[in-house]
Amino acid sequence: MGVRMTDEEAWTFLERGHTAILTTLRRDGWPVSLPLWYVVTGEVIHVATPTRSKKITRITNDDRACLLVESGDEWASLAAVELPVRALVLPPDAEAELALAAFDHKYAPFRPARAAMPESAVSRYASQTVIRLEPAGPFLTWDNAKLSRKR
């Protein structure tokens, strides 16, 4: 009675997810884990961050990272996909523009109106940089709901 997802199930789970935890490494090797929005196209994951974000510096210094997406509140519904990745900061090119358009499509209903945001937030998020996350190893997955389906 396994709870692992197939690779196809894992990609579907990622596509449907809302918020991921991205872990990057500081120069001294200590991890930093932060929630962020992401988009999946095929088997490519993109995240966007303010251009002045420390994530950019950390990824430039060490491209190793880890992405985690989870769901569920009760034990029987807990599910997650964890994926080691190599992070690549993209220049403002066609791939980055397509990713930003995908962000607008996926997250527009969840963003506050610019007028409702403090000026400091408007300024910080005015310039976004896209990061491509390339899988660098196998998925670590579980879906406890599979246990109840096998009874």
pLDDT in tens, 87-128: 999 999 999 999 999 999 999 888 777 777 777 766 666 778
- Say how many CA atoms lie within 13 Å of 132 toward its Cβ: 16
- Say how many CA atoms lie within 13 Å of 115 toward its Cβ: 0
Q: Which of 21-25, 44-48, 72-76, 110-114 has the lowest mean pLDDT?
A: 110-114
Superfamily of domain 7-149: Electron Transport, Fmn-binding Protein; Chain A (2.30.110.10)
For 81, other C-beta atoms within 10 Å of its C-beta total: 24
Domain boundaries, the chain: 7-149
Q: What is the pTM of this model?
A: 0.88
Q: Left if phi > 0, otherwise alpha if psi is -120 to 50, otherwise beta: which for 146?
A: alpha
